Amino acid sequence: MSYIDEFLEFLSIPSVSALPEHKPDMERAAQWLKARMERAGIKDVRVFPTGGHPVVYGIAEAKEPGAPTVLIYGHYDTQPADPLDEWVTGPFEPEIRDGKIFARGAADDKGGVFPAIVAVEKALQGEGLPVNVKFLFEGEEEIGSPNLKAFMAENKDLLRCDLVVSVDGGMYSREIPSITTGSRGLCGVQIEVQGPKQDLHSGGAGGAVNNPLIALAQIIASMKDLDGKVLVEGFYDDVVELTPAEREAFAKVPVDEEAYKELAGVPELFGEPGYTVTERLWARPTLDVVGIWGGFQGEGIKTIIPARAACKITCRLVPNQEPDRIVELLTRHVENHTPRGVRVKVTAFPGNSRPYVIPQDHPVLGVMARVLKDLYGREPVTVRLGGTLPIARTFLDVLGTYLVFFATSSPDENVHGPNEFFRIEEFERLVEGLPVLLKELAGVLRR
């Protein structure tokens, strides 16, 4: 079986961490990884149960004793696949079209996890490893890693390392390699608005009771102005403003706003006034409604005052915003802006994540720059990640170890949306590049 065939097999396991009905698939994916890692010559491979989905661990030893240790981090869980009807082929029926492998999780992050195993297998079968390599693959990244911090705290010795290399993440573009120096945090709440105790006839009640769908819309509208600025009281209080030097560095990153607009399919880009697109994506917090529902969603019309409405809100956070504090501010804001005649409940989602930044003078960043230049034939740019890696900050907080990103994913791969894909070419680039990185790291990490 070729590496690609094996990868397709891995992708066909619907390891959706958010949906309870996929719990058996999560276990299956973990066991699949364990078997494959053992076949690669990785030692001490273990599937650790957690309060949620399992963690997969293993270690491959350096050819020489006393070598430093690099821990490779990735995740084998995926986002849910809906809306299903927008996929050209089934999300868990991987198909190769035009050099691209289409499947949920192909890029995020099975396409990071699997090539890393292959790269280490090749090194073990060839000249040996210049560093000890530990593997930590989790199954809850897409739901905010609710159990990983506790797992790490309980297994500090097992996980001890000199650097974490994340194969989750991505390059600024396929042509422009990048060094990611930070990622945004995340928190979220669900807002439920209760009007009448059950749906009422809008003829008999329209004009006498408040409508929870309208009340929810009014609450949401109170949270963000028409220009995209968040209006939640205190939301920006702890945000560290960018220095002029940082803004200058960001400005050097080429941004094709027209191409971005076209890729997204929007009439115009949009966001908080006073900041460039990259500043907004990397160093400004956001507030988004990711789902909303209430009342009659079928075909045609139903003349009711619905009983209830709800929405899910997530915020992307930047230094030094604290997720718990933001949840508190959101809750207070909703309470202060709930219209009369309805009841409201705000529930925080588990799995908050703090934002993360690596010091600009960390020696590993120089190594990354050299390796990426060789691999891509071009100087990398320095960026941050608009998304969240829940554990980037946790490794630092729990193990005292910094994390760098080494992932060949690129931004056009429909990550989290329908028709996610990963290019075979980028798969190969990761398999080829990881051993080079490990060799270079052996130099700067040597104690």
Residues 416-435 that bind a copy of itself (CB under 8 A): 416-419
Kindly indicate which of the ranges 58-66, 142-150, 326-334, 439-447 contains the residues binding a copy of itself, using the contact rule CB under 8 A. 142-150
How many residues interact with a copy of itself (rule CB under 8 A)?
Answer: 101
Ordered DSSP codes for 249-261? HHHHS---HHHHH
Residue 90 binding a copy of itself, by CB under 8 A: no
Name the minimum Å distance from CB 107 to a copy of itself: 10
Site string for a copy of itself, 266-285 (x = CB under 8 A): xxxxxxx----x--xx--x-
Residue 24 binding a copy of itself, by CB under 8 A: no
Closer residue to a copy of itself, CB minimum distance, 59 or 214: 214
Q: Which of 118, 119, 133, 213 binds a copy of itself (CB under 8 A)?
A: 213
CA-CA distance, 306 to 91, in Å (whole number)?
34
Tokens of 135: 């593997």
Tokens of 4: 């690609």
Tokens of 143: 């739901």
Measured at the CA of 53, the angle between CA 48 and CA 56, to 5 degrees, comes to 40
Which among 447, 355, 382 has a CA at the least distance from the CA of 163? Answer: 447
Kindly indicate which of the ranges 42-50, 264-272, 359-367, 392-400 contains the residues binding a copy of itself, using the contact rule CB under 8 A. 264-272
Name the minimum Å distance from CB 236 to a copy of itself: 13
Please tell me whether residue 230 adopts helix, strand or coil conformation. strand
Q: Which of 133, 311, 368, 392 binds a copy of itself (CB under 8 A)?
A: 311
Kindly indicate which of the ranges 90-98, 130-138, 363-371, 407-415 contains the residues binding a copy of itself, using the contact rule CB under 8 A. 407-415
CA-CA distance, 227 to 232, in Å (whole number)?
14
How far are the Cα atoms of 57, 81, 149, 297, 406 from residue 138, in angstroms, in the given order? 9, 19, 11, 36, 17
| Site residues (CB under 8 A) for a copy of itself, limited to 103-122 | none
Q: Which strands, in side-by-side order, build the sheet including 69-75?
A: 43-48, 55-60, 132-138, 69-75, 163-166, 403-405
| Site residues (CB under 8 A) for a copy of itself, limited to 347-366 | 349, 351
On whether the CB atoms of residues 165 and 437 are closer than 8 A, the answer is yes
Residue 256 binding a copy of itself, by CB under 8 A: no
Please tell me whether residue 49 adopts helix, strand or coil conformation. coil
Kindly indicate which of the ranges 54-62, 211-219, 241-249, 360-368 contains the residues binding a copy of itself, using the contact rule CB under 8 A. 211-219
Residue 172 binding a copy of itself, by CB under 8 A: no
Q: Which of 112, 306, 319, 355 binds a copy of itself (CB under 8 A)?
A: 306
On whether the CB atoms of residues 110 and 14 are closer than 8 A, the answer is no
Residue 264 binding a copy of itself, by CB under 8 A: yes
Q: What are phi and psi of 433, to 5 degrees?
A: -80, -30
Closer residue to a copy of itself, CB minimum distance, 59 or 255: 255
| Site residues (CB under 8 A) for a copy of itself, limited to 312-331 | 312, 314, 316
Site string for a copy of itself, 150-169 (x = CB under 8 A): --------------------
Tokens of 2: 């070729």
Residue 20 binding a copy of itself, by CB under 8 A: yes
Measured at the CA of 372, the angle between CA 111 and CA 158, to 5 degrees, comes to 60
